[in-house]
Amino acid sequence: MFKAGAEAAVRRCADVINAADTDDASLCAALEAHGEEVSSLTPDETRQLRDAAARLRPVARASSLEEACARLNEVLAACRPPRLTAHQDTPWHLHVDTSDDADWGEWFTASSAMALAILVTETQQPPLGVCQAPGCDRVYPTHSPGRPRRYCSTTCSSRARVASHRSRI
């Protein structure tokens, strides 16, 4: 359950980082798609989330596991020490934010950093990547069975493969 929860939080992290570059409705939709109860966000809350996404994006841009861990350690250093909590009828679980009602930015930063750290320890791979397709900079979770991912989607993978093929003709 611990690893499955971390994988889900890393998918949420990537989706929110990607949505942070778009409009407020897309940011809300990214959170809602991962089970967060949010019908709208205030301008201050969207700023907090965009700032948090900007702090986490360097983890995805890292070119090695060592660099990803260094960037992640910088984010974790700004978080609180872990604590156990049970709230809103949830089982006991770890938190690294200040309280059960932390603001959106603090919650997103802390929960994402913890999930990313858990996956690093489980997989010994960078937890996030940036799409290598020309013109795409979407962030995606790197953990998948088989070979490491290089693209955010099959669309970008196919487009890059076709472009590579055409360049050789």
What are the structural domains, with CATH classification, of the chain? Answer: 1-127 (1.10.3300.10)
pTM of the model: 0.87
First to last CA, the chain: 49
Contact by Cβ (8 Å): 152, 133 = yes
Contact by Cβ (8 Å): 10, 119 = yes
Q: What's the alpha-carbon Rg for the chain, to the nearest Å?
A: 17
Q: What is the pLDDT of residue 67?
A: 97
Q: What is the pLDDT of residue 86?
A: 84
Q: Beta-carbon neighbour count of residue 128 at 10 Å?
A: 27
Q: By C-alpha distance, which of 74, 66, 51, 56 is closest to 12?
A: 56
Give the residue-averaged pLDDT of 79-104.
79
Give the residue-averaged pLDDT of 122-144.
92
Q: What is the pLDDT of residue 127?
A: 94
Q: What is the pLDDT of residue 99?
A: 65
Residue 53 contacts by C-beta under 8 Å, 6 or more apart in sequence? 16, 17, 20, 108
Q: What is the pLDDT of residue 59?
A: 97
The SS3 of residue 140 is strand
